[in-house]
Amino acid sequence: MRVNAVLPAGLTLTLVLAASVAAAGGSSGLMDRARREGTVRVLARLPVASAPLAMRGTAVGDQARRVAIRSARGRLEAELGNTAWEIKHAYENIPYVALEIGADALARLQLTDRVSGIAEDRLEKILLAESRAIVQADRADSAGYDGSGWAVAVLDTGVDASHDFLTGKVIDEACFSSNGSCPDGSTEQTGAGSARPCEFADNACLHGTHVAGVVAGDGQTVEGIARGASVIAIQVFSRFTGSTCDDDVEDPCAKTFTSDTIKALDYVYGRRNDFKIAAVNMSLGGGQHSSVAACDLEDSARKEIIDQLRSVGIATVVASGNESRVDALASPACISSAISVGATNDSDGVAAFSNSAPFLDLLAPGVQILSSIPGGAGATISGTSQATPHVSAAFAVLNQRQGGQDVDQVLNALKSTGLQVTDSRNGITTPRIRILDAANQLPGSAITSSGLQITPDGKRTLVSKDVGAERWAITLNADDGSVTGNVFKSDGSEPSFVWCAYLFDDGNSNANERQITFECSGADACPGPSCPAGQWTTLATVALPGSFFLPPLSAASVMSTTLSPAQVSGDAPSGLQVTPDRNRTLVSKDVGSDRWAITLNAEDRTVTGNVFAPGKEPTFLWCEFQFDDGTADPANVLLTYDCHIADRCAVAPCDASQWSFLQEVVVPGWFFQP
Q: What's the one-letter identity of residue 18? A: A
Is the domain of 61 the same as that of 143?
A: no
Count Cβ atoms below 10 Å from residue 34 Cβ, excluding itself: 20
Is the domain of 529 the same as that of 563?
A: yes
Active-site choice (163, 207, 390, 644): 207
> The domain containing residue 263 runs over which residues?
128-441
Active-site choice (238, 354, 385, 660): 385
Is the domain of 453 the same as that of 432?
A: no
Active-site choice (138, 141, 156, 299): 156
* Domain final position from 397, 420, 441: 441
Is the domain of 237 the same as that of 364?
A: yes
Is the domain of 413 the same as that of 510?
A: no
Is the domain of 432 the same as that of 475?
A: no
Say what percent of the chain tops pLDDT 70: 82
Return mean pLDDT, the chain.
80
Tell me the pLDDT tens digit for each residue of 176-217. Answer: 998 899 999 998 999 999 999 999 998 899 999 999 999 999
CATH number for the domain including 408? 3.40.50.200
Is the domain of 49 the same as that of 109?
A: yes
Tell me the pLDDT tens digit for each residue of 323-349. Answer: 999 999 999 999 999 999 999 998 899
What is the H or E stretch that residue 215 is in?
helix 207-216
For residues 367, 373, 378, 383, the Cα torsion angle rounded to the nearest 10 degrees is -10
Instruction: Out of 40-54, 346-360, 553-567, 657-671, pick the least confident.
Output: 553-567
Structural domain contains residue 600: yes
* Domain final position from 415, 441, 467: 441
Structural domain contains residue 4: no
Instruction: Out of 80-94, 425-439, 516-530, pick the least confident.
Output: 516-530
CATH number for the domain including 40? 3.30.70
Structural domain contains residue 369: yes
Is the domain of 455 the same as that of 433?
A: no
pLDDT at 647: 65
Structural domain contains residue 5: no
Say what percent of the chain tops pLDDT 90: 34
pLDDT-derived band at 538 (thresholds 50, 70, 90) equals: confident
Count Cβ atoms below 10 Å from residue 86 Cβ, excluding itself: 12
Instruction: Out of 362-371, 392-401, 414-423, 565-574, pick the least confident.
Output: 565-574
Structural domain contains residue 36: yes
Is the domain of 102 the same as that of 145?
A: no
pLDDT-derived band at 658 (thresholds 50, 70, 90) equals: confident
Structural domain contains residue 113: yes
Average pLDDT over residues 82-105: 84
The beta strand positions in 349-433, using DSSP E, are: 362-365, 369-373, 377-382, 419-422, 429-432
Highest mean pLDDT out of 293-297, 349-353, 468-472: 349-353
Is the pLDDT confidence value at 57 over 80?
no
Is the domain of 304 the same as that of 377?
A: yes
More confident residue, 12 or 320: 320
**What backbone phi and psi angles, to 5 degrees, belong to 409?**
-65, -45
Structural domain contains residue 18: no
* Domain final position from 120, 150, 171: 120
DSSP state of 58: S
Structural domain contains residue 485: yes
Domain count, the chain: 3
Residue 207 designated active-site:
yes
Is the domain of 49 the same as that of 138?
A: no
Tell me the pLDDT tens digit for each residue of 269-279. Answer: 888 888 899 99
Residues whose CB is less than 8 angstroms from the CB of residue 628 and which lie 6 or more positions away in sequence, other chains included: 637, 638, 639, 640, 669
The beta strand positions in 210-319, using DSSP E, are: 230-235, 238-240, 253-255, 277-282, 286-289, 315-319
121, burial (CB in 10 Å: exposed 0-12, middle 13-18, buried 19+): middle
Q: Which long-range contacts (CB under 8 A, 24 or more apart) does 97-102 make?
A: 97/43, 97/44, 97/46, 97/73, 98/41, 98/42, 98/43, 98/44, 99/41, 99/42, 99/43, 99/44, 100/39, 100/40, 100/41, 100/42, 101/34, 101/39, 101/40, 101/42, 102/34, 102/38, 102/39
Report the distance separating Cα 100 and Cα 108, nearest Å.
14
Give the Å distances, CA to CA, from 118 to 40, 51, 68, 435, 484: 12, 21, 19, 33, 49
The beta strand positions in 320-433, using DSSP E, are: 329-331, 339-344, 362-365, 369-373, 377-382, 419-422, 429-432
Is the domain of 281 the same as that of 405?
A: yes
Is the pLDDT confidence value at 571 over 50?
no
Tell me the pLDDT tens digit for each residue of 437-453. Answer: 998 888 764 333 447 78
Report the distance separating Cα 169 and Cα 231, nearest Å.
6
Tell me the pLDDT tens digit for each residue of 235-290. Answer: 999 998 998 888 788 889 898 888 888 889 989 988 888 889 999 999 998 888 99
Asked if residue 376 lies in contact with residue 356, where contact means CB atoms within 8 angstroms, the answer is no
